Amino acid sequence: MRIKNAFIVFFLCAVMAVAAPVAAKTTFISIGTGGTGGIYYPYGGGVAEIWSKYVPGVKAVAEVTGASVENVKLAHKGETVIGEVMGDVAAAGYTGAGKFKGKKHNILSMAIMYPNLLQVVTLKKSGITNIEQVKGRHISTGSPGSGTNFMAEAVFKALGIPLDSYKDSRLSFTESANALRDGTIDVGIWSVGPGTSSILDLATTHDIRIIGFTPEQTRKILAANKNYSAVDLAAGVYRGVDKPVPTIGVWNVMICQKSLDTDLVYKLVKALYEHTDYLKKIHPSAAYTTPENAVKYSPIPLHPGTIKYLKEKGIKVPARLVPAS
């Protein structure tokens, strides 16, 4: 009788174990963005909301970081899964060039975001009208580890401006705007989508000038940096900037860890592209986040999960964007 009862208890326990619901596994995704005074952070926050809402089992969050260079390193080490990065920095990280000192990082492209424009800002009262006048001045080329700092130094190198010819405070976007307002720096540099909040706020209280590049300066910059292009900052984006300003542009790319699961990346990319209307409400630059732009402008190979989605949409992926197996 005891044996029979024990068997019944065992049987019931087994049935209950099978019938009990299994807790769904949650995948936590950290998105490395930048400072709060640029576009990376609100853009990343919007992406996190989309993924958390529309990809079952995913909880995503946007993290404030030092931006592009740091985001490549964080993704490579696994401290973040996704990173928002300028295209020139992504290419350097993938190949181990420049500041990555010969170390190739295990990253792949996930999506193209929008183009950044180099915006060299001063106050009109400074009298500075040419980028080469930064020599001997107090400036900010962006926070350490940022794509802005990376791009600013690349531009200076192309123009023959020694990196020790100016005093660099290396401030965040918000700090640079405040320093210009307070007169503690003469020039602040942003590589960001046009209409960024920190410059908009500065322009409401001070007369600003966006320093453009001459045709000869542009030629030198483009000859030295294949990921850059000549673009104009449109008139009217900032108060007092009433004419187009010739400057330099570079595309932003969303990178991910090379080892990330193909099906997970496919689901993330699918959700991203199917809900860009929400992103455009956060910032109009999200209008550039399209599947077509992924194959036009990605500076490094695409993740297999992205390729799976693009093929499903009938978009041909060029061989240069297919990662080596």
What pLDDT is attached to residue 24? 67
Place of tokens 């531009």: 155
Place of tokens 């449109």: 234
Half-sphere exposure for 3 (CA within 13 Å, toward CB): 0
CB 117 within 8 A of CB 231: yes
Biggest CA–CA distance in the chain, Å, is 100
Identify the three-state secondary structure at position 316.
coil
DSSP state of 285: G
User: What count of residues does the chain have?
Assistant: 325
Crossing angle of helices 262-274 and 40-54, in 10° steps, is: 110
CB 57 within 8 A of CB 110: no
Distance of alpha carbon 90 from alpha carbon 76, whole angstroms: 11
For residue 283, which of 73, 33, 61 has the smallest C-alpha distance?
33
Other CB atoms within 10 A of residue 140 CB: 28
Sorted by sequence, the CB contacts under 8 Å of residue 4 that are 6+ apart come out as none
Identify the three-state secondary structure at position 101.
coil
Tens place of pLDDT per residue across the chain (325 aa): 444 444 343 334 444 444 445 556 899 999 999 988 889 999 999 999 999 999 999 999 999 999 999 999 999 998 878 999 999 999 999 999 988 999 999 999 999 999 999 999 999 999 999 999 999 999 999 999 899 999 999 999 999 999 999 999 999 999 999 999 999 999 999 999 898 999 999 999 999 999 999 999 999 999 999 999 999 999 999 999 999 999 999 999 999 999 999 999 999 999 999 999 999 999 888 999 999 999 999 999 999 999 999 999 999 999 999 999 7
Distance of alpha carbon 93 from alpha carbon 69, whole angstroms: 8
Shared fold status for 27-113+253-321 and 117-250: yes
**What's the CATH number of domain 27-113+253-321, 3.40.50.1000, 3.10.450.350, 3.40.190.10, 3.90.245.10?**
3.40.190.10
For residue 241, which of 269, 209, 263, 272 has the smallest C-alpha distance?
209
For residue 193, which of 98, 130, 279, 269 has the smallest C-alpha distance?
279
Distance of alpha carbon 93 from alpha carbon 27, whole angstroms: 26
Exposed e or buried b per residue across 163-182, where buried means at least 16 C-beta atoms within 10 angstroms of its C-beta: eeebebbbbbbbbbbbbbee
Other CB atoms within 10 A of residue 17 CB: 8
Residue type at 256 in one-letter notation: C
Question: In the CATH hierarchy, which fold is given to the domain comprising 117-250?
Answer: D-Maltodextrin-Binding Protein; domain 2 (3.40.190)
Distance of alpha carbon 110 from alpha carbon 113, whole angstroms: 10
For residue 47, which of 312, 254, 292 has the smallest C-alpha distance?
254
Distance of alpha carbon 219 from alpha carbon 201, whole angstroms: 32
CB 32 within 8 A of CB 74: yes
Distance of alpha carbon 217 from alpha carbon 162, whole angstroms: 15
Place of tokens 């860890």: 257
Domain range summary for the chain, segments of one domain joined by +: 27-113+253-321, 117-250
